[in-house]
A = this chain, B = another copy of it.
């Protein structure tokens, strides 16, 4: 399956990947890339090793086995990305719904074709591993719960401020927003077309605007 060249396509701000100098971090980020590209089950430890120049002994010095390496990727790399990109911005907002809309818009604008080519690291790993491994499912679910919680809190706040129609149930909408967001990214990835992504996002934004109340 060598249709994709593994060159530096890589996505969504290099983040700490460049900063990572110690061996453990190097392994962790290489593992994150490999898992995101091939999925966990098909991720090859030898590939990770080859990309980092680290030896197998080093890998097994820091991680007892492949599964634990996968757990570490979830808890240390993926969780951090979701938190920084989608949770933290919501907590600081004073107009929650508007900033939720802007968050979606900004995501839609900043994405390039290459960015969406590989889909959401959280979503694809969840799709693959949740059905076959409780250990993975539990750890991935924890991230989703955090994400949902942040949106629920934001929507409730908006409702209290009178910026959101009272018929909306925050718990309900929050789950739907996350689901749609991931679905949109997935749709853009499959079509390999940014307009599909923005189309999808526009649909969600229209909904949010429909249920929000302009205060001015």
Contact = CB atoms under 8 A, between A and B. Distances in A.
A141 interface: yes
Chain A residues touching B, range: 35 or more
Contacts of A41: 1, 38-39, 41-42
B1 A144 contact: no
A176 B190 contact: no
Q: Identify which of A189, A207, A210 gathers the most chain B CB atoms within 10 Å of its CB.
A: A207
A202 to B, nearest CB: 5
Interface string A111-133: 00000011100011011101111
Contact of A130 (B119, B175, B181, B200): B119
A191 interface: yes
Contacts of A173: 203
A184 B189 contact: no
Q: Identify which of A41, A123, A176 gathers the most chain B CB atoms within 10 Å of its CB.
A: A176
Interface in A68-115: none
A45 B132 CA distance: 18
